[in-house]
């Protein structure tokens, strides 16, 4: 076989559409919560592929599921159903409020399906003016034109106008402001239980409870975007159970496939009827390869060992980060749930989140940002204690450098 061509970080700048600015090294291998670059340098992975690799890298059970399915059947298209997709649907239904599932390939697509469902439901009821969507400032729902418009960060949408209309944004966690715009013309309210990309900002329980009541009063569909909070990230399978507020539609992706692209929209029997044959679809959605992997992932995550382990790991992170912050006070707040943790930088370090993660890379640890002023950690849900300790020690060295 021909030797693969040599590639370097420079190749990215030479050949790739420049929508990303990746780190200046290339990772080639991962195992558990460690990854290695082309030069063999090791890193502790506290990012998990942006809250995706919930079982770390190359988990043996998940890898075995992928390999087994890969030798059987990869893809059929939705004119033919398959066993793994039906089994995964049943797993999701049995573990949540949902009665029905629609599979797709990403978080954005799951939200796109949810918003389309809500619009069509109102229209089917004969209410053509009930098409308004309420969303929140700073929210992130994906990058398709509809979902980026529902997102509350105009910097991501403004260059693509004209944008889909009928979407209103109000401040997150401000129930009074939401109550002013939610009315009988509202078909959907979409919200993240914890705003992830927006800075790891948890919703107040009263806010989500209030949205539930407003949606009930005005017959609007309440959509929880659990693409980031889902699949064990907060220490529960989905965050809605912690809040005690049940949505009408829940979207999930990221950790669902642990790195294999898959997304899903979960809903009730009544709402599912809206999307009848031919009204929506996707070529790859629910293909046997993706759903076999997700089925294996689900079986591992939806256990008390893993979910309780997330709560324990949350404490390890909090203890370690608080200790770092005592020595080098750079965080004004450490917040989030489970293994979705955001560290808000103080005024003195505002805007330096990216620089901190770059120094962290140099010290051998991978962390994320959530906006310019927040360092975010979304590691594997089963990261070993030793890796947490070692990664935090490396992170502390990066913090020491930014403070010197
Ligand atoms: C990542 C994310 C999305 C988008 O998911 P993609 O798979 O990138 O399309 C949507 N909503 C939330 C809350 C996310 O964190």
**3 state DSSP class of 74:** coil
- Residue 106 Cβ contacting ligand 1 at under 6 Å: yes
Residue 267 burial (C-beta neighbours within 10 Å; 0-12, 13-18, 19+) = buried
Question: For ligand 1, what atom is nearest to the CA of residue 192?
Answer: 13
State residue 404's pLDDT score.
Answer: 85
Cβ atoms of residues 149 and 157 within 8 Å: yes
Question: What does the DSSP assignment read for 321-358?
Answer: HHHHHHHS--EEEEEEETTEEEEEEPGGGTT-HHHHHH
Q: Is the dihedral of CA 16, 17, 18, 21 positive or negative?
A: negative
- Residue 107 Cβ contacting ligand 1 at under 6 Å: yes
How many Å apart are CA 284 and CA 14, to the nearest integer? Answer: 30
State residue 14's pLDDT score.
Answer: 98
Q: What is the mean pLDDT of residues 50-75?
A: 98
Alpha helices in 107-231 (DSSP H): 107-124, 145-150, 175-181, 205-217
> Quick one: which of 248, 274, 279 has its CA closest to 121?
274
- Residue 361 Cβ contacting ligand 1 at under 6 Å: no
Which stretches of 259-310 are assigned E, i.e. beta strand?
263-267
- Residue 121 Cβ contacting ligand 1 at under 6 Å: no
Asked whether residue 1 carries a pLDDT value surpassing 80, the answer given is no
> Quick one: which of 364, 258, 363, 355 has its CA closest to 27?
364
Expressed in angstroms and rounded, the spacing between residue 252 Cα and the centre of ligand 1 is 9
Asked whether residue 276 carries a pLDDT value surpassing 90, the answer given is yes
- Residue 65 Cβ contacting ligand 1 at under 6 Å: no
- Residue 148 Cβ contacting ligand 1 at under 6 Å: no
Cβ atoms of residues 44 and 34 within 8 Å: yes
State residue 290's pLDDT score.
Answer: 98
How many Å apart are CA 201 and CA 208, to the nearest integer? Answer: 13
Which positions ≥6 away from 142 have C-beta within 8 Å? 106, 107, 108, 109, 111, 112, 148, 151, 227
Helix/strand number for the chain, H first, E second: 14, 17
- Residue 227 Cβ contacting ligand 1 at under 6 Å: yes
Asked whether residue 247 carries a pLDDT value surpassing 90, the answer given is yes
- DSSP symbol at 161: P
- Residue 142 Cβ contacting ligand 1 at under 6 Å: yes
Ligand 1, atom 5: nearest CA belongs to which residue? 107
Cβ atoms of residues 57 and 32 within 8 Å: yes
Question: For ligand 1, what atom is nearest to the CA of residue 107?
Answer: 5
- Dihedral angle over CA of 315, 316, 317, 318, nearest 10: 40
- Residue 196 Cβ contacting ligand 1 at under 6 Å: yes
- Residue 225 Cβ contacting ligand 1 at under 6 Å: yes
State residue 97's pLDDT score.
Answer: 98
Asked whether residue 204 carries a pLDDT value surpassing 80, the answer given is yes
**What is the pLDDT confidence band of residue 61, given thresholds at 50, 70 and 90?**
very high
How many Å apart are CA 71 and CA 275, to the nearest integer? Answer: 33
**Which is more confidently placed, 1 or 190?**
190
State residue 58's pLDDT score.
Answer: 98
Expressed in angstroms and rounded, the spacing between residue 111 Cα and the centre of ligand 1 is 9
Residues 207-227 pLDDT 10s: 999 999 999 999 999 999 999
Residues 13-51 pLDDT 10s: 999 999 999 999 999 999 999 999 999 999 999 999 999
Asked whether residue 205 carries a pLDDT value surpassing 80, the answer given is yes
Q: What is the mean pLDDT of residues 69-95?
A: 98
Six token digits for residue 281: 């679809």
- Residue 228 Cβ contacting ligand 1 at under 6 Å: yes
Residues 296-350 pLDDT 10s: 999 999 999 999 999 999 999 999 999 999 999 999 999 999 999 999 999 999 9
- Choose which residue among 142, 192, 239 to substitute to test ligand 1 binding: the one with the highest number of ligand atoms within 8 A of its C-beta: 142
User: Helices 60-70 and 288-301 meet at what angle, rounded to 10?
Assistant: 160
- Choose which residue among 172, 227, 255 to substitute to test ligand 1 binding: the one with the highest number of ligand atoms within 8 A of its C-beta: 227
Expressed in angstroms and rounded, the spacing between residue 327 Cα and the centre of ligand 1 is 35
What pTM was computed for the model?
A: 0.98
For residue 316, whether the previous peptide bond is cis, meaning omega lies within 30 degrees of 0, is no
> Quick one: which of 107, 324, 74 has its CA closest to 197?
107
What's the full length of the chain, in residues? Answer: 404
Asked whether residue 2 carries a pLDDT value surpassing 90, the answer given is no
State residue 3's pLDDT score.
Answer: 87
How many Å apart are CA 287 and CA 303, to the nearest integer? Answer: 25
Ligand 1, atom 10: nearest CA belongs to which residue? 141
- Residue 108 Cβ contacting ligand 1 at under 6 Å: yes
Expressed in angstroms and rounded, the spacing between residue 4 Cα and the centre of ligand 1 is 33
* 404 strand-pairing partners: none
How many Å apart are CA 123 and CA 187, to the nearest integer? Answer: 9
**3 state DSSP class of 225:** strand
Phi/psi zone of residue 219: left (φ > 0), alpha (ψ -120 to 50 degrees), beta?
left
Percentage of the chain beyond pLDDT 70 is 100
Asked whether residue 277 carries a pLDDT value surpassing 90, the answer given is yes
Which positions ≥6 away from 356 have C-beta within 8 Å? 345, 349, 367, 375, 398, 399, 402
Expressed in angstroms and rounded, the spacing between residue 83 Cα and the centre of ligand 1 is 27
Ligand 1, atom 6: nearest CA belongs to which residue? 107
């Amino acid at each position: 076989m021909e030797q693969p061509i040599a590639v370097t970080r420079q190749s990215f700048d030479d050949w790739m559409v420049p929508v990303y600015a990746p780190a200046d090294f290339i990772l080639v291998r991962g195992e558990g919560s460690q990854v290695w670059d082309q030069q063999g340098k090791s890193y502790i992975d506290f990012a998990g592929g942006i809250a995706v690799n919930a079982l770390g890298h190359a988990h043996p059970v998940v890898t075995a599921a992928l390999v087994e399915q890969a030798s059987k059947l990869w893809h059929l298209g939705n004119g033919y159903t398959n066993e793994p997709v039906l089994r995964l649907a049943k797993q999701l239904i049995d573990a949540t409020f949902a009665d029905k599932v629609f599979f797709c390939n990403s978080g954005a697509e799951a939200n796109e399906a949810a918003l389309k469902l809500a619009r069509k439901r109102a229209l089917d009821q004969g209410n053509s003016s009930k098409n308004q969507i309420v969303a929140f400032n700073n929210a992130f729902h994906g990058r398709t034109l509809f979902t980026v418009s529902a997102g509350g960060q105009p910097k991501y949408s403004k260059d693509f106008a004209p944008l889909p209309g009928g979407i209103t944004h109000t401040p997150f966690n401000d129930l009074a402001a939401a109550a002013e715009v939610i009315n009988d013309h509202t078909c959907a309210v979409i919200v993240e239980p914890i705003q992830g990309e927006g800075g790891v900002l948890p919703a107040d329980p009263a806010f989500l409870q209030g949205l539930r009541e407003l949606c009930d009063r005005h017959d609007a569909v309440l959509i929880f975007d659990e693409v980031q909070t889902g699949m064990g990230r907060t220490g529960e399978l989905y965050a809605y159970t912690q809040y005690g507020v049940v949505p009408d539609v829940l979207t999930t992706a990221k950790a669902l496939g642990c790195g294999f692209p898959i997304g899903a929209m979960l809903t009730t029997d009544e709402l599912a009827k809206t999307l009848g044959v031919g009204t929506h679809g996707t070529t790859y959605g629910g293909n046997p390869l993706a759903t076999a992997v997700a089925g294996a992932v689900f079986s591992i995550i939806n256990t008390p060992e893993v979910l309780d382990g997330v709560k324990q790991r949350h404490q390890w992170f909090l203890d370690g980060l608080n200790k770092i912050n005592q020595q080098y006070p750079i965080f004004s707040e450490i917040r989030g749930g489970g293994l979705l943790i955001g560290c808000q930088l103080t005024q003195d370090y505002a805007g330096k989140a990216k620089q901190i993660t770059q120094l962290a890379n140099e010290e051998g640890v991978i962390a994320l940002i959530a906006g310019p002023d927040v360092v975010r950690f979304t590691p594997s849900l089963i990261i070993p204690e030793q890796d947490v300790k070692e990664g935090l020690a490396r992170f502390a060295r990066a913090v020491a450098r930014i403070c010197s």
